[in-house]
Amino acid sequence: MSDERISTYNSMEQIIFRINDLWAKFNYHVLQGNLIKSNWVLDRLWGEFVTDATTPETKKKKEEEDDTTIFENLQKEYGTIHKLKEREKLYLFLMKKEKFLRLLQDKQGKGVKHQESALDYMDG
Does 79 map to a domain?
A: yes
**What pTM does this model have?**
0.72
Q: How many domains does the chain have?
A: 1
Q: Range of 98's domain?
A: 14-110
Q: Is residue 23 part of a domain?
A: yes
**DSSP sequence for 34-94:** -HHHHHHHHHHHHHHHGGGS--TTT-S-TTSPPHHHHHHHHHHHHHHHHHHT-HHHHHHHH
Is 90 within a domain? yes
Position 41 in a domain: yes
pLDDT in tens, 35-44: 999 999 999 9
Domain assignment of residue 124, yes or no: no
* pLDDT, tens only, 72-122: 899 898 888 877 778 889 999 999 999 999 999 998 888 765 556 555 555
pLDDT exceeds 70 at position 124: no
